[in-house]
């Protein structure tokens, strides 16, 4: 929770973190450097309309939050954690695709997700509580 509150304007409750860890343990990862937790990725599995294939219902992995403490960024930690969570969503939960939302202003994160094969599917107007738009990004896990 400290990393979430330090890095992101969207803050989640202890119960929310705990529920995702309990329900989807293979898709909840932490990044450590020298034994200290410095980042995390948390996800949930959903069944909903595909963001890639029109009119198809798919089992999808929703990447809820990715964060790395500022002093540990630019070392490939986020890239590695997201890559590992994509494997877990496919192998452990049999997801066909994955999606996430990212602030339009967070160009660095959007580029990271594009490196991992994500495409911008749509722009969600006023998605965040402060009114900022989000890119909805998705990729296949096939």
With beta carbons less than 8 A apart as the criterion, state whether 136 and 122 touch. yes
SS (H, E, C) the chain: CHHHHHHCCCCCCHHHHHHHHHHCHHHEEEEEECCEEEEEEEEEEEEEECCCCCCCEEEEEEEEEEEECHHHCCCCHHHHHHHHHHHHHHHCCCCCEEEEEEECCCHHHHHHHHHCCCEEEEEECCCCCCCCCEEEEEEECC
**For 21-69, what is each residue's pLDDT tens digit?**
999 999 999 999 999 999 999 999 999 999 998 889 999 999 999 999 9
pLDDT-derived band at 1 (thresholds 50, 70, 90) equals confident
How confident is the model at residue 77, as a pLDDT?
94
Domains of the chain, start order: 2-140 (3.40.630.30)
Question: Which residues, other chains included, contact 80 with Cβ-Cβ below 8 Å and sequence gap of 6+?
Answer: 31
How confident is the model at residue 54, as a pLDDT?
86
How confident is the model at residue 9, as a pLDDT?
80
How confident is the model at residue 7, as a pLDDT?
81
With beta carbons less than 8 A apart as the criterion, state whether 45 and 24 touch. yes
Give the pTM.
0.92
């Amino acid at each position: 929770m400290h990393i979430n509150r330090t890095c992101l304007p969207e803050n989640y409750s202890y119960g929310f973190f705990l529920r995702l860890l309990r329900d989807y343990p293979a898709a909840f990862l932490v990044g450590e450097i020298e034994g200290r937790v410095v980042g995390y990725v948390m996800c949930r599995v959903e069944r909903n309309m595909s963001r890639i294939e029109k009119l198809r219902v798919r089992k999808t992995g929703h990447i809820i939050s990715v964060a790395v403490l500022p002093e540990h960024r630019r070392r490939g930690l986020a890239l590695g954690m997201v890559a590992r969570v994509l494997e877990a969503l496919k192998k452990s939960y049999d997801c066909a695709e994955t999606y996430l939302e990212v602030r339009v202003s967070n160009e660095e994160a959007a580029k990271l997700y594009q490196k991992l094969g994500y495409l911008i599917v749509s722009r969600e107007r006023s998605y965040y509580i402060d009114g900022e738009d989000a890119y909805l990004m998705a990729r296949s896990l096939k």
